[in-house]
A and B are shown apart, each in its own frame.
Chain A
Amino acid sequence: MGLIWVIATLVPLAAFVVQILFGSVLKRANAYIATGAIGFSFFLSTMGMLWYASFKPGVLSPPGHHAHHEEVVEGAGAAGHADHSHDGEAGEATDHGHEDAGHDSEADHGPVNPVAFEGSISWATLIRGEDTLSKVLRENPALGDLIGPEDLREEGPGVVSVGYRIDNITALMFFMVTLIATCIHVYSMGYMDHEPRYGRFFAYLSLFCFSMLALVVSNNFFQVFMCWELVGLCSYFLIGFYYEKKSASCAANKAFITNRIGDVGFIVGLMVLFSTFGTFSFSEIFTPEGMLNPELAAKADTFWLTVAGIGIFVGCVGKSAQFPLHVWLPDAMEGPTPVSALIHAATMVAAGVYLIARSFPLFTPEALLVITYIGGITLFVAATIAIVATDIKKALAYSTVSQLGYMVMVLGIGGWIAGLMHLITHAFFKALLFLCSGSVIHGTGTQEMPQMGGLYKKMPKTALTMLVGVLCISGFPLTSGFYSKDAIIAQVLAYGESNPEHTFILLLPGISAGITAFYMFRLWFMTFVGTPRDKHVHDHAHESGDLMTVPLVILACCAFLAAGVPWLGLPIPSLESFIGFGQPAAADSGQFAGLTARAHELHGVASVVASGCALLGTVLAVAIYWKGYLSPSEAQRQFPRVYDLLINKWYFDEIYRYLAVRPAMAFGRMVAWFDKNVIDGALDGSADLTVRGSNFEGRFDLGIVDGMVNWIGSTFFETGVSLKRVQTGWLRGYVVTIALGAVALVALGAFLYTP
Chain B
Amino acid sequence: MLIPSLQIYLLVGAVLFTTGLLCMVTKRNAIGVLMGVELILTASNINFVAFSRYGKLGLDGQLVSLFVIVLAAGEAAIALAIAMNFYNNFETIDVDRASNLKG
Contact = CB atoms under 8 A, between A and B. Distances in A.
Contacts of B25: 732, 735-736, 739
28 contacts: A723-B103, A724-B103, A725-B103, A726-B103, A727-B101, A727-B102, A727-B103, A728-B99, A728-B102, A728-B103, A729-B100, A729-B102, A730-B96, A730-B99, A730-B102, A731-B33, A731-B96, A731-B98, A732-B24, A732-B25, A732-B26, A732-B28, A732-B33, A732-B96, A735-B21, A735-B24, A736-B25, A739-B21
Contacts of B102: 727-730
B64 interface: no
A731 B97 CA distance: 9
Contacts of B95: 731-732
Contacts of B101: 727, 729
Contacts of A736: 25
Nearest to A735: B24
A729 B21 contact: no
A729 B99 CA distance: 4
Interface in B1-51: 21, 24-26, 28, 33
Closest 3 CB pairs of A and B: A729-B99, A724-B103, A729-B102
A341 B25 CA distance: 135
Nearest to A736: B25
Interface of B: 21, 24-26, 28, 33, 95-96, 98-103
Nearest to A722: B103
Contacts of B99: 728-730
Nearest to B101: A729
B74 to A, nearest CB: 20
Nearest to B24: A735
Contacts of B21: 735, 739
Contacts of B28: 732
Interface residues on A, range: 10 to 19
A735 B95 CA distance: 12
Contacts of B24: 732, 735
A719 to B, nearest CB: 12
Contacts of A726: 103
Given A729-B101, A729-B102, A730-B96, 20 more contacts: A723-B103, A724-B103, A725-B103, A727-B103, A728-B102, A729-B98, A729-B99, A730-B99, A730-B102, A731-B33, A731-B95, A731-B96, A732-B25, A732-B33, A732-B96, A735-B21, A735-B25, A736-B25, A739-B21, A739-B25
Nearest to A742: B21
Most buried by B among A724, A726, A728, A735: A735
Contacts of B26: 732
A407 B100 CA distance: 123
Nearest to B17: A739
Interface string A264-299: 000000000000000000000000000000000000
A229 to B, nearest CB: 98
A728 B102 CA distance: 5
Nearest to A728: B102
Nearest to A726: B103
B34 to A, nearest CB: 12
Contacts of B98: 729, 731
Interface in A736-751: 736, 739
Contacts of A735: 21, 24-25
Most buried by B among A723, A728, A732: A732
A242 B31 CA distance: 124
Nearest to B23: A735
Contacts of A731: 33, 95-96, 98
Nearest to B96: A730
A735 B96 CA distance: 12
Interface in A690-735: 723-732, 735
Most buried by B among A723, A725, A731: A731
Contacts of B33: 731-732
A374 B101 CA distance: 115
Contacts of B96: 730-732
B33 to A, nearest CB: 7
B49 to A, nearest CB: 21
A726 B103 CA distance: 7
Contacts of A727: 101-103
A734 to B, nearest CB: 10
B53 to A, nearest CB: 23
Nearest to A725: B103
Contacts of A724: 103
